[in-house]
Amino acid sequence: MKQSEVVEGFRPSGGVIVVGFDGSVHARLALKWGADEAKRRHALLRILFAPDGDAVNVPGWYGSDGSGCGPAEAVIDEGVALVATRHPSVLTRGEVVEWPPAMVLTQASRAADLMVMGARGRGGFDELLLGSVTDQCLHHAHCPVVVVHSDVDDPVVSPAHPRIVVGVDGSLGAARALRWAVNEAAVRSAVVDAVFAWQYPPVGVFSIGPVQGYQSLAREILDAAADHAHELAPAVPFRTSSTFSATVPALIDASSRADLLVVGSQSHGGFRTALLGSVAQQCARHASCSVVVIRPRIEDDAPHRTANRDAAVAAGTADRATDDASRPVALVPRGDQ
């Protein structure tokens, strides 16, 4: 059986990773990232190419080997070959689907554990504009989405000691991001840095309390995150920090020379509506390292024990925020708006 001929419906113990691939330079970076992750997780790697018009990034060997395949098939064969060369043991399935790219990838995400995309490509990747394939997947995917910015083989951007930065703010989305980051750190033998950024809310909209109230709330949120991380993976090194800053600059600065920046798709600052300018989108657009946006999964049947635990972690800090009249009524990082 060829690597690209995996039995339909087969799902290995490590899950399924989907990579959007169009043969471009940035798609190749995403594929390398996805292949490495599939190797770590013992996962099946699905490489999807949904050509939007004629295939452009056709490999140099196309037309000279007498294979008789079309240009789209040549692109996907090149992707499968790249993975086979890099990690021969990784099970890989390459597919060409004649549908709009965002539709294909969103549909594939329903059965995936992770989706990986390049930071640039055809269809608006250059600026991650509203309506681009990446942006639509950040809005609508049913699994976490990774936006790859750098080459995993570059020693300058791949530190010797793996490090994952995660944004926390006491919300349900941040609790999901924390859980994913800690689990990933256990796989990578990495350290996790949890970052909480805050600013005073706008005057006239929210009540402003003394600075001690904000600092106390930050401490409660970070302590709750540390407790949750310890329950999930006691052996994973976990550090916390808070900063008086807009959320996006704080996270991007903290993730300098990190392997990954992990953020939730929902938070207190407007993640729920996923508007252009949200923390998740801005980090995916501007961070120098790869960014993981944690989308809530659709569960089919089993009780939502994990989701309920995440909600309890988020609610525990939010409830305590209103117990003391000397503290602010709400804490909304202005950088999220």
Q: Are residues 267 and 321 in the same domain?
A: yes
pLDDT in tens, 165-183: 999 998 888 999 999 999 9
pLDDT band of residue 236 (cuts 50, 70, 90) is: very high
* Percent of the chain residues past pLDDT 70, beyond the cut: 66
Overall average pLDDT of the 190-198 stretch: 94
Domain that holds residue 140: 16-148
Task: Please identify, among 119, 148, 177, the residue that sits at the C-terminal boundary of a domain.
Answer: 148
Same domain, 140 and 168: no
158 lies in some domain: no
For 299-320, how does the pLDDT look when each residue is reduced to its tens digit (9 = 90+)?
543 444 444 455 455 555 444 4
Of 95, 124, 148, which residue is a domain's last?
A: 148
179 and 129 in a single domain? The answer is no
Environment class of 108 (CB within 10 Å of its CB; exposed 0-12, middle 13-18, buried 19+)? buried
The answer to whether 19 touches 116, Cβ cutoff 8 Å, is yes
Is the pLDDT score of 97 beyond 60?
yes
pLDDT (average), residues 139-155:
89
Count of domains for the chain? 2
Position 232 pLDDT exceeds 60: yes
Asked whether residue 295 is assigned to any structural domain, the reply reads yes
Could you report the per-residue pLDDT of 249-259, keeping only the tens digit for each? 999 999 988 99
SS3 sequence of the chain: CCCCCCCCCCCCCCCEEEEECCCCHHHHHHHHHHHHHHHHHCCEEEEEECCCCCCCCCCCCCCCCCCCCCHHHHHHHHHHHHHHHHCCCCCEEEEECCCCHHHHHHHHHCCCCEEEEECCCCCCCCCCCCCCHHHHHHHHCCCCEEEECCCCCCCCCCCCCCEEEEECCCCHHHHHHHHHHHHHHHHHCCEEEEEEEECCCCCCCCCCCCHHHHHHHHHHHHHHHHHHHHHHCCCCCEEEEEEECCHHHHHHHHCCCCCEEEEECCCCCCHHHCCCCCHHHHHHHHCCCEEEEECCCCCCCCCCHHHHHHHHHHHHHHHHCCCCCCCCCCCCCHHHC
Is residue 155, in this structure, part of any structural domain at all? no
Does position 292 have pLDDT exceeding 70, yes or no?
yes
Same domain for 53 and 199?
A: no
**Are residue 305 and residue 169 in the same domain, yes or no?**
yes
**Shared-domain flag, residues 198 and 315:** yes
Q: Judge if 208 and 254 occupy the same domain.
A: yes
| CATH number for the domain that contains residue 279 | 3.40.50.620
pLDDT at site 279: 87
Is residue 2 in a domain?
A: no
171 plus 266 within the same structural domain:
yes
Q: What mean pLDDT, rounded, does the chain reach?
A: 77
* 274 vs 86, residue with greater confidence: 86
Question: Are 284 and 195 contained in the same domain?
Answer: yes
78 with 173, same domain: the answer is no
pLDDT score, position 202 = 52
Most confident of 124-128, 223-227, 244-248: 223-227
User: What pLDDT, on the 0 to 100 scale, is given for residue 7?
Assistant: 38
Tell me whether residue 3 is in a domain.
no
| Any domain includes 184 | yes
- Same domain for 117 and 168: no
Q: What residues contact residue 280 under an 8 Å CB cut-off, 6+ apart?
A: 138, 263, 264, 265, 271, 274, 293
